[in-house]
Amino acid sequence: MNEKSFNCVRVSCSALQHNYTVIKNLAGADVPVMAMVKADAYGHGMVLAARAFARAGCGNFGVAELREAVILREAGIQGAIYVTLGFLPEDIELLFRYDLIPVIYTYETARLLADLAMALGQEIGVHIKIDSGMSRLGLLPDALPAFLVGIAHLPGIRIAGIMSHFPEADISGSASTARGYQIFSEVCREIKSRFGGVCHIANSGAVLNFPASYCDIVRSGIALYGYHPAGRCAGEGQNAVKLVPAMSFVSRVVQVKTLPAGVGVSYGHTYRAEEPITLAVLPVGYEDGFSRLFSNRGQVLIHGRRVPVRGRVCMNMCMVDVTGMEDVRAGDEAVLLGRQGSEVISAEELAEGMASISYEVLCLLGNNNQREYIE
Q: What would the pLDDT profile of 255-289 be if each residue is shown by its tens digit? A: 999 999 999 999 999 999 999 999 999 999 999 99
pLDDT value of residue 237: 59
Architecture of domain 247-345: Beta Barrel (2.40)
Average pLDDT over residues 244-251: 98
Helix ranges (DSSP H) in the chain: 13-27, 38-42, 46-55, 66-74, 93-97, 107-120, 144-152, 175-195, 204-209, 232-235, 347-354, 358-366
* Cα within 13 Å of Cα(161), Cβ side: 18
Of 105, 214, 257, 267, which residue is the catalytic one?
A: 267
> Is it the case that residue 293 has pLDDT exceeding 60?
yes
DSSP state of 64: S
Specify whether the CB–CB gap between 328 and 289 falls below 8 A: no
Give the gyration radius of the chain's Cα atoms: 24
- Our answer to whether residue 267 is catalytic in this structure is yes
The CATH number that domain 13-231 falls under is: 3.20.20.10
252: pLDDT strictly greater than 70: yes
Q: Is the pLDDT of residue 234 over 70?
A: no
What pLDDT is stored for residue 236 in this prediction?
Answer: 66
Rounded to the nearest 10 degrees, the angle between the axes of helix 175-195 and helix 144-152 is 20
Nearest Cα to 42, choosing from 350, 337, 360? 360
Of 349, 333, 354, 169, nearest to 245 by C-alpha is 349
Catalytic residue among 20, 24, 38, 286: 38
Q: What is the distance between the alpha carbons of residues 72 and 50, in angstroms, rounded to a whole number?
A: 8
CA–CA separation, 364 and 288 (whole Å): 7
Task: Report yes or no: 81 and 100 within 8 Å, Cβ to Cβ.
Answer: yes
Helix axes 46-55, 13-27, angle to 10 degrees: 50
CB 139 within 8 A of CB 105: yes
Residue 238 has pLDDT above 80, yes or no: no
Across 19-38, average pLDDT: 98
What pLDDT shows up at residue 305?
A: 98
Half-sphere exposure of 4 (CA within 13 A, CB side): 10
The predicted structure's pLDDT at residue 239: 60
| Contact (Cβ atoms closer than 8 angstroms) between residue 328 and residue 302 | yes
Given a cut of 80, whether residue 311 has pLDDT beyond it is yes
* Average pLDDT across the chain, whole number: 96
Per-domain residue ranges of the chain: 13-231, 247-345
Spell out the long-range contacts of 356-362 with Cβ–Cβ below 8 A and sequence spacing 24 or more: 357/231, 358/222, 358/227, 358/231, 359/42, 359/221, 359/222, 359/227, 361/289, 361/337, 362/42, 362/43, 362/44, 362/225, 362/227, 362/247
What does the DSSP assignment read for 320-333? EE-TT-TT--TT-E
Using CA atoms, how far apart are residues 178 and 174, in angstroms rounded to an integer?
Answer: 7
Is 60 exceeded by the pLDDT of residue 349?
yes
For the segment 36-57, the average pLDDT, to the nearest whole number, is 98
pLDDT band (50, 70, 90) for residue 132: very high
* Residues composing the chain: 375
pLDDT of residue 241: 86
Instruction: Categorize the per-residue pLDDT at 2 as very low, low, confident or very high, splitting at 50, 70 and 90.
Output: low
pLDDT at 235 over 80: no
Encoded amino acid at 145, one letter:
P
Active site residue 38: yes
CB 118 within 8 A of CB 156: yes
- Look at residue 35 and tell me whether its pLDDT is greater than 80: yes
What per-residue confidence (pLDDT) applies to 152?
86
Residue 196 predicted with pLDDT over 70: yes
Q: What is the reported pTM?
A: 0.95
> How far apart, in whole angstroms, are the C-alpha atoms of residue 205 and residue 218?
10
pLDDT at 232: 78
The answer to whether the beta carbons of residues 63 and 84 sit under 8 Å apart is yes
Contacts of 105 (CB under 8 A, 6+ apart): 86, 128, 129, 137, 138, 139
Angle, CA of 27, 169 and 245, to the nearest 5°: 65
